[in-house]
């Protein structure tokens, strides 16, 4: 089951454009930097809508507020001005309908794989055989069967992130917030994990907001790509990715349309980076 | 990791600080909070010390919460401090103590580094010596003092031996840990460039170990100071520890407290000096263990 | 004793030979040999595992260090015995032969003196130790979690940790008189501060992202404390417990040797005063052995209960 590579998909993923799941409206977020006694404007006047069922990838240079946006949707950070709505209601704090996958995995080192996956269920007070089955099935889904009793320090980076993914999926959230989840794993593992993520999302039909540095990762995974400028983070452009799925096939990456999109996104980012270099920001 | 002895007051926000960071308009509370956070630790320490001393003074002169014989007010301790400096008591005792301490520290530190480097670098020596080093490192070595005093008399020698026993083991143990922790890729790199075994040891392992030695030195120096004090409590007619003990025997508690204050000040000074010195050595920070 | 086998000879580490380690590390998992895990299945594939070497060779490898340790001590004591018997380096009045020490040790155990004094000593120590754990760990947690309490107590706790608290012992004994309460107080004063400081320091290192993760999955403040902060701090607390044990031993021996009319330390002092070096050494031997055992016990607990914490611990 680890090998979903090459499985053909009959149709495009169904995106219900009618019901926006996440709506950020003129969202600005400021951090107070205690040490320097200054404030950092992480996001400024950021407006973005994510419909249910979409795979949205946010691309931008480092420090552009991508993670801040995820934190705002997760309810870890409150807006300074503007608003974030989830299913029509303003976000007031973390909730079981929004789960997150972290760049550095954020696994509890004292918990086994199984217990790490179970964490969200425990917090929600959900125990019992039905939930045990769910834990087991998600461990199998991410391809970790047999490693239930292992501790994170016994696993490789790719395996740890599989645990992080299962932990997020098992609470059955409406949206999966993924903060550069594959940034810390090696290139080969990364490609395989991308393919598996695409498969799992296809199977579960989850909405995903995925943050990355990598244009290729964005093009491989996204329905839409949101390109963000840095400091303050503002939405620059939204790109519809009209590439056929599955995309890990050679011919998709070799197609002229892929190259075209790639160059377009690259152009946007390059502009941004060179501006920053000139102004000495980055 | 800094779990062991490297202790630092940290100003990092606690993990339970509110997860939702609201940046609201400045109220008086926020401003006070920011003032507190931005105030350097030294200022805070001074302020809280002043408050403590004031409360202590008031409690012991006006209310007399505890009989002043047992807990004299700060003013009495201060007077005892001045008095003993004026009549030369302190100078004489401190000179005696520090002389022993200096000799013990010098011998203990150089022997400790040498033993640590050899033990860490040569496996056979390591296997043979490690049990004894660990046994003596874990044990309160003051247990040896009575027999040393009886054997060697009321001379500085048993005191110096005690100080060496205090200084040497933290240094040995830290030095060994440094040699053992030498970065494998550094060693491989040196090998690739043709270093032989001796060169590997002298040009890679020993420099790598310097920060660990600094940590050991700091721990050993404070432990040595404690052993200096202890070595004078019994079987001595001179020194800081002797003075404190004599003062308690004569119920001169202010003098005893003054002696303790002096020891604490010395200890803090030594730690500070040993933390500042490495900053002036190139490429040397204290190892975080 | 504990670390003799680890990486002792840096030069040998280069040659690839793992020396006398009891287990061999291999780069691929036993069930997936021949393939690098990441290349085949996207990071599925465990980290290098350890394979047991069996048979006589395995036995020798596993117990080599133990055998060497025993031999090591045997040779040490035999040499000591021979040297002090035939060509004494130090006057045998001050450094008696091991057999004399063992004989004294046996006598003192047989007549019950040693047992009785040891019981007195370790009861005091246990009470003092439990007291400092009872107050030190919660105080450290509170200081780690709450900035306000850290600012209020932090400087004093830190100063008292850095200062030689034992120096105040003569005054404590003057106030309370020599006896179990003063002894317990001195021991507790010694053991308390490393516990509080280590716990506080541990809390300061809790990874922000773990707290974020717990929050995202719905943990409230209490749950964050219980499920993230306390387990994360456990290695630091255990280290604090170990440092506290050595400092408690120091306090105990200090009070008993110099002030107390009871306890193991008193036996050492008394024997020394009448130049009975053999008895003094036999009691010192007991102190050394119990110190080593206690410290090793805590190292074992650290390794057992916090296997994820891989750092070198001194």
Give the mean model confidence (pLDDT) for residues C2-17: 39
Inter-residue contact A41 to A231 (CB < 8 Å)? yes
Q: Which residues pair with A23 in a beta bridge?
A: A49, A85
Percentage of chain A beyond pLDDT 70 is 86
| pLDDT band for position B78 (cuts 50, 70, 90) | very high
In tens, the pLDDT along C164-200 reads 788 888 888 888 888 899 999 999 999 999 899 889 9
Q: Which CATH number fits domain C108-305: 1.20.59.10, 1.10.630.10, 1.10.3720.10, 1.10.150.120?
A: 1.10.3720.10
- Give the domain CATH number at A258: 3.40.50.300
Q: Is residue A121 domain-resident?
A: no
Nearest to A76 among B13, B20, B34 (CB): B20
Angle between helices B206-233 and C230-258 (to 10 degrees): 40
The answer to whether the Cβ–Cβ distance between A155 and C37 falls below 8 Å is no
Chain B interface with A: residues with Cβ < 8 Å: 13, 19-23, 34, 37-38
Cα separation, B5 vs B287, whole angstroms: 11
Cα separation, B175 vs B110, whole angstroms: 12
Nearest chain B residue (CA) to A29: B23
Contacts of B137 (CB under 8 A, 6+ apart): B169, B170, B172, B173
Q: Is residue A105 domain-resident?
A: no
Task: Please determine, for residue C41, whether its predicted confidence score (pLDDT) is greater than 50.
Answer: no
Inter-residue contact B271 to B279 (CB < 8 Å)? no
Of C189, C191, C153, whose CA–CA distance to C171 is shortest?
C189
Residues of B in contact with A94 (CB under 8 A): 19
Cα separation, B136 vs B173, whole angstroms: 11
Chain C interface with A: residues with Cβ < 8 Å: 37-39, 41-47, 207, 209-210, 212-219, 223, 227-228, 231-232, 234, 306-310
Residues of B in contact with A77 (CB under 8 A): 20-21
In tens, the pLDDT along C205-230 reads 888 889 999 999 988 888 999 999 99
Of A186, A23, A74, whose CA–CA distance to C45 is shortest?
A186
Q: Quick one: which H or E segment has residue A43? A: strand A38-51
Q: Best-predicted range by mean pLDDT among A166-170, B12-16, C62-66?
A: A166-170
Query: How far apart are the CA of C50 and the nearest CA of chain B, in angstroms?
Result: 20
DSSP assignment of A228-241, as one string?
Answer: EETTTBEEEEEEE-
Query: How far apart are the CA of A274 and the nearest CA of chain C, in angstroms?
Result: 31
The pLDDT value recorded for residue A139 is: 93
Nearest to A189 among C42, C46, C214 (CB): C42
Nearest to B256 among C170, C208, C221 (CB): C170
Nearest chain A residue (CA) to B19: A76
The pLDDT value recorded for residue C191 is: 93
Interface of A with C in 114-143 (CB under 8 A): 119-120, 123-124, 143
| pLDDT band for position C305 (cuts 50, 70, 90) | confident
Cα separation, B213 vs B173, whole angstroms: 9
Query: What is the DSSP secondary structure assignment for residue B62, as one 8-state letter?
Result: I
Nearest to C10 among B44, B182, B244 (CB): B182
Within chain C, which residue ranges are assigned CATH 1.10.3720.10? 108-305
Q: Is residue A277 domain-resident?
A: yes
Residues of C in contact with A171 (CB under 8 A): 217
Inter-residue contact C266 to C86 (CB < 8 Å)? no
The answer to whether the Cβ–Cβ distance between B150 and C174 falls below 8 Å is no
Over chain A, what is the mean pLDDT?
A: 82
Give the mean model confidence (pLDDT) for residues B216-230: 91
The pLDDT value recorded for residue A242 is: 83
Q: Which bin fits C136, alpha (ψ -120 to 50), beta or left (φ > 0)?
A: alpha
Q: Is residue A228 domain-resident?
A: yes
Q: Which tops the pLDDT comparison, B58 or B198?
A: B58
Give the mean model confidence (pLDDT) for residues B53-59: 89
Residues of B in contact with C236 (CB under 8 A): 3
Nearest to A156 among C43, C209, C215 (CB): C43
| pLDDT band for position A38 (cuts 50, 70, 90) | low
Q: How far is CA B159 from CA A54, B107, B118, B132, B162, in A?
A: 77, 13, 27, 22, 5
Total number of domains in chain A: 1
Q: Is residue A46 domain-resident?
A: yes
Query: How far apart are the CA of B181 and the nearest CA of chain A, in angstroms?
Result: 20
Helix, strand, coil percentages for chain B (3-state, nearest 5): 75, 0, 25
Q: Is residue A252 domain-resident?
A: yes
The pLDDT value recorded for residue C266 is: 94
Query: What is the DSSP secondary structure assignment for residue B65, as one 8-state letter?
Result: -
Query: How far apart are the CA of C52 and the nearest CA of chain B, in angstroms?
Result: 23
Cβ atoms < 10 Å from Cβ of C108 = 21
Inter-residue contact B171 to B213 (CB < 8 Å)? yes
Inter-residue contact A32 to B23 (CB < 8 Å)? yes
The answer to whether the Cβ–Cβ distance between B147 and C295 falls below 8 Å is no
The pLDDT value recorded for residue A175 is: 93
The pLDDT value recorded for residue C114 is: 92
Q: What are chain B's partners, defined as 3 or more CB pairs within 8 angstroms? A: A, C
Query: How far apart are the CA of B74 and the nearest CA of chain C, in angstroms?
Result: 15
Cα separation, C282 vs C108, whole angstroms: 9
The answer to whether the Cβ–Cβ distance between A119 and C38 falls below 8 Å is no
Contacts of A39 (CB under 8 A, 6+ apart): A30, A31, A32, A33, B23
B245 touches C: beta carbon within 8 Å: yes
In tens, the pLDDT along B259-288 reads 988 888 888 888 888 877 766 665 555 554
Q: Quick one: which H or E segment has residue B174? A: helix B156-180
In tens, the pLDDT along A74-115 reads 988 889 889 999 988 898 888 888 999 998 889 988 889 999
In tens, the pLDDT along A45-77 reads 888 999 998 999 999 877 678 888 999 999 888
The range of the structural domain enclosing residue A77 comes to 15-96+216-282
In tens, the pLDDT along B195-222 reads 777 888 888 888 888 888 988 998 899 8
The pLDDT value recorded for residue A9 is: 39
Cβ atoms < 10 Å from Cβ of A2 = 15
Of B139, B100, B260, whose CA–CA distance to C170 is shortest?
B260
Q: Is A57 helix (H, G, I), strand (E, B) or coil?
A: strand
A199 touches C: beta carbon within 8 Å: no
Cα separation, A218 vs A265, whole angstroms: 10
Q: Which tops the pLDDT comparison, C45 or B226?
A: B226
Nearest chain A residue (CA) to B17: A76
Poorest-pLDDT segment among A203-212, B50-59, B272-281: B272-281
C3 touches B: beta carbon within 8 Å: yes
The pLDDT value recorded for residue C57 is: 65
Q: Which bin fits A82, alpha (ψ -120 to 50), beta or left (φ > 0)?
A: left
The pLDDT value recorded for residue A15 is: 54
Strands (E), A87-165: 89-90, 98-101
């Amino acid at each position: 089951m680890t090998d979903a590579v090459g499985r053909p998909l009959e149709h495009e993923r169904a995106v219900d454009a009618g019901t926006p799941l996440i709506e950020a409206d003129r969202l600005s977020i400021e951090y107070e930097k205690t040490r320097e006694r200054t404030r950092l404007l992480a996001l400024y006047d950021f407006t973005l809508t994510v419909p249910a069922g979409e795979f949205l990838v946010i691309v931008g240079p480092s420090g552009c507020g991508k993670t801040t946006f995820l934190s705002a949707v997760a309810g870890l950070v409150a807006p300074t001005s503007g608003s974030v709505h989830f299913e029509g209601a303003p976000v007031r704090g973390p909730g079981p309908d929004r789960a997150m996958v972290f760049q550095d995995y954020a696994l509890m080192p004292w918990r086994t794989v199984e217990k790490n996956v179970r964490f969200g269920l425990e917090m929600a007070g959900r125990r019992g055989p039905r939930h045990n089955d769910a834990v087991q099935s998600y461990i199998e889904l991410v391809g970790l069967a047999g490693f239930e009793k292992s501790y994170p320090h016994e696993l490789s980076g790719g395996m740890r992130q599989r645990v992080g993914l299962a932990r997020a999926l098992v609470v059955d959230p409406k949206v999966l917030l993924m903060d550069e989840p594959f940034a810390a794993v090696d290139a080969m593992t990364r490609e395989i994990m991308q393919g598996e993520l695409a498969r799992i999302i296809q199977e579960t039909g989850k909405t995903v907001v995925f943050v990355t540095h990598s244009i290729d990762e964005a093009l491989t995974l996204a329905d839409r790509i949101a390109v963000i400028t840095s400091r303050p983070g503002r939405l620059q452009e939204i790109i519809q990715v009209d590439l056929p799925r599955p995309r890990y096939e050679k011919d998709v990456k070799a197609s002229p349309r892929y190259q075209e999109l790639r160059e377009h996104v690259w152009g946007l980012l390059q502009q941004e980076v060179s501006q920053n270099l000139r102004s000495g920001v980055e | 990791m800094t779990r062991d002895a490297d202790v630092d007051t940290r100003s990092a926000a606690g993990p339970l600080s509110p997860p939702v960071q609201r940046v609201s308009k400045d109220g008086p509370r926020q401003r006070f909070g920011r003032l507190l956070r931005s105030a350097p630790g030294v200022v805070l320490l001074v302020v809280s010390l002043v408050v403590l001393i004031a409360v202590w003074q008031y409690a012991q002169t006006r209310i007399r919460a505890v009989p002043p014989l047992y807990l004299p007010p700060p003013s009495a301790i201060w007077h005892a401090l001045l008095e003993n400096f004026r009549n030369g008591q302190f100078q004489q005792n401190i000179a005696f103590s520090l002389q022993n301490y200096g000799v013990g520290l010098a011998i203990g530190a150089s022997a400790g580094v040498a033993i640590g480097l050899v033990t860490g670098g040569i496996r056979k020596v390591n296997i043979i010596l490690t049990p004894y080093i660990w046994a003596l490192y874990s044990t309160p070595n003051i247990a040896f003092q009575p027999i040393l005093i009886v054997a060697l008399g009321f001379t500085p020698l048993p005191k110096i031996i005690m100080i060496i026993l205090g200084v040497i083991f933290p240094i040995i143990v830290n030095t060994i840990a440094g040699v053992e922790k030498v970065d494998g890729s550094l060693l491989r790199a040196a090998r690739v460039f043709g270093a032989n075994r001796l060169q590997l040891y002298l040009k890679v392992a020993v420099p790598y170990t310097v920060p660990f030695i600094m940590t050991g030195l700091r721990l050993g120096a404070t432990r040595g100071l404690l052993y200096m004090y202890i070595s004078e409590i019994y079987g001595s007619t001179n020194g800081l520890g002797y003075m404190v003990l004599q003062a308690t025997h004569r119920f001169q508690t202010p003098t005893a407290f003054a002696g303790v204050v002096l020891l604490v000040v010395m200890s803090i000074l030594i730690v500070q000096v040993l933390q500042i010195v490495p900053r002036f050595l190139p490429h040397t920070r204290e190892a975080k263990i | 004793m504990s670390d003799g086998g680890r990486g002792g000879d840096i030069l040998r580490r280069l040659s690839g030979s793992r020396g006398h380690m009891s287990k061999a590390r291999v780069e691929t998992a036993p069930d997936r040999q021949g393939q690098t895990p990441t290349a085949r299945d996207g990071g599925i594939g465990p980290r290098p595992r350890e394979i047991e070497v069996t048979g006589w060779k395995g036995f020798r490898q596993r117990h080599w260090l133990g055998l060497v340790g025993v031999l090591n001590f045997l040779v040490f004591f035999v040499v000591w015995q021979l040297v002090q018997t035939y060509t004494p380096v130090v006057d045998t009045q001050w450094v008696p032969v091991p057999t004399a020490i063992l004989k004294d040790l046996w006598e003192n155990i047989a007549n019950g003196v040693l047992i009785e004094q040891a019981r007195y000593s370790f009861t005091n120590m246990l009470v003092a130790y439990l007291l400092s754990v009872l107050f030190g760990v919660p105080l450290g947690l509170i200081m780690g979690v709450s900035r306000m309490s850290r600012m209020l107590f932090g400087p004093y706790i830190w100063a008292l940790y850095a200062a030689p608290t034992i120096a105040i012992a003569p005054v404590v004994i003057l106030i309370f008189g020599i006896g179990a309460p003063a002894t317990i107080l001195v021991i507790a004063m010694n053991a308390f501060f490393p516990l509080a400081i280590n716990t506080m320091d541990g809390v300061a290192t809790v990874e922000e992202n773990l707290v974020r993760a717990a929050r995202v999955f719905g943990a409230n403040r209490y749950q964050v404390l219980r499920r993230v902060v306390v387990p994360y701090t456990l290695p630091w607390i255990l280290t604090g417990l170990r440092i506290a044990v050595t400092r408690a031993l120091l306090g105990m021996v200090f009070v008993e040797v110099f002030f107390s009319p009871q306890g193991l330390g008193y036996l050492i002092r008394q024997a020394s005063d009448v130049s009975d070096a053999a008895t003094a050494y036999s009691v010192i031997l007991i102190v050394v052995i119990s110190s080593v055992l206690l410290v090793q016990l805590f190292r074992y607990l650290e390794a057992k209960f916090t296997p994820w914490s891989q750092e070198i611990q001194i």
